[in-house]
Amino acid sequence: MAKSHNLLNYDRVAMADFFEQQGEKAYRATQVFRRLHHDSPQSTDIFCDLPTALRTKLAQTTSYPNLPLASDHVATDGVCKLLFDVGGDRIETVIIPESNRTTLCVSSQVGCALACRFCLTGKQGFSRNLSTAEIISQLRQANRLLPPGKKITNVVFMGMGEPLLNLDAVLSALKIMIDTHGYALPPRRVTVSTAGVVPAMARLATLPVALAVSLHAPTDTLRDEIMPINRKYPLDTLMAACHRHILNRSRAFITFEYVMLDGVNDSVACARALIRLLHGLRCKVNLIPFNIFPDTPYQPSPYEAIDRFRDVLMRGGVMTTVRKTRGNDILAACGQLAGSVQARTMGLGSEKPLLRA
């Protein structure tokens, strides 16, 4: 019989439905779900503690395959880029170790349809949506690559793709990430980043995860030019959606990402316009130094321009941070992609620890 059911596609409710359809008890679903995601991720047989008949049936009809690891690259600063093979396409996942946490940057689509002018993924165009299994496997397998005792503590949807254009699969993956029987990540440590797909924002808000919005420009004229999605959902609709997101969620705030492009969006006038735009919104701004890639028309803003921009925002009462750029010697920074990777390939296809503790 064909192994038609990939169990990695199921959040816990979907898993319970599946077991019910098979005429099995619902608690078995939780048992299998825990084995798959929560317990010993190294275990190879997740059915080991089930009754023999059920075990045989599941072994014949279901699967939970790993994504083949096509390559991995470790940057001088310890950032590790994983390239997974997803049915012939390649997606990237980045592990970012820090002293007090380990963040995973996951992809939600193969390529991206939004064509933001400063983004290499956007330049490459859209191929397809990732399934829930392909999204959650990035976390499942990254955990296995870490040294024993280490786990991913934070997830950001800032790899390839626009998560809100693949919302069904992303929502299921988010549920598995924050499920206490799954990866049990605190919801505030799971961040979904969107370029501003306004109609999908309300559905995302049904989960208590953190929201980041890629703003990058304070006026429609400029945002139209660098982010084509702005022509569909201009700033007034996007900001209204942001205000709705905050409303009724006492602890919520929004992180606005703002990539610093030399001479494009980094002037003092832009900073002042940004202060006006964000007025009354519980938020912070994260300034991102532009990560350069071949054939881009843009240059990164000089450090002085970034500092000046931050100072103007802070004086205007807007909490502002500057993102540390990491992993750029292997093109692992957001918006950069494989294809012209110069770094050494470690050739570790196995599940050995990649990163130093």
Binding site for ligand SAH (CB under 6 A): 116, 118-119, 158, 162, 193-195, 214, 257, 259, 288, 290-291, 334-335
Nearest approach in angstroms of CB 323 to ligand SAH is 8
Is 119 a known ligand-binding residue? yes
E strands of 125-282, at which residues? 126-129, 154-157, 190-194, 210-214, 254-260
How distant, in Å, are the alpha carbons of 10, 62, 92, 94, 294 from that of 76?
A: 37, 40, 18, 14, 21
CA 121 to chain centre: 14
Active site residue 92: yes
Least CB distance from residue 162 to ligand SAH, whole Å? 4
The token duo for 59 is 């072994």
Nearest distance in Å: CB 242, ligand SAH: 13
Distance in angstroms (rounded) separating the CA atoms of residues 118 and 261 = 9
Relative orientation angle of helices 167-178 and 12-21, to the nearest 10 degrees: 100
Query: Measured from the CB atom, is 116 or 275 closer to ligand SAH?
Result: 116
Q: Least CB distance from residue 119 to ligand SAH, whole Å?
A: 3
281: closest CA among 311, 317, 314?
Answer: 317
Q: Which residue has the tokens 């993102």?
A: 323
Closest-by-Cβ residue to ligand SAH is 335
Task: Confirm whether residue 216 is marked as ligand binding.
Answer: yes
Residue 295 region, left (φ>0) first, then alpha (ψ -120 to 50), else beta? Answer: left
Known binder of ligand: residue 162?
A: yes
Q: How many CB atoms lie within 10 A of CB 317?
A: 9
The answer to whether the annotation marks 174 as part of a ligand binding site is no
Nearest approach in angstroms of CB 212 to ligand SAH is 6
Smallest separation (angstroms) from ligand SAH to the CB of 40: 32
- Looking at 92, 134, 270, 283, which residue is catalytic? 92
Q: Which is nearer to ligand SAH, 180 or 299 (CB)?
A: 299
* Structure token digits, residue 152: 């991913």
Closer Cβ to ligand SAH, 241 or 334, answer by number: 334
Closest to ligand SAH by CB, 58 vs 195, is 195
Catalytic residue among 80, 105, 242, 334: 334
24 given a catalytic annotation: no
What is the residue type of 63? S
Is 20 marked as binding a ligand?
no
Residue 7 or 334 having the CB closest to ligand SAH: 334
4 annotated ligand-binding residue: no
* Burial grade of 192 (CB within 10 A; 0-12, 13-18, 19 or more): buried
Nearer to ligand SAH, 153 or 328 (CB): 328
Positive/negative CA dihedral, 198, 199, 204, 208? positive
Query: Is 116 known as a binding-site position?
Result: yes
Using the Cα atoms of residue 114, residue 115, residue 120 and residue 126 in order, give the sign of their dihedral. positive
Binding residue numbers for [4Fe-4S] cluster: 112, 116, 119
> Which residues define the annotated binding site?
112, 116, 119, 161-162, 193, 214-216, 291
| Residues carrying an active site annotation | 92, 334
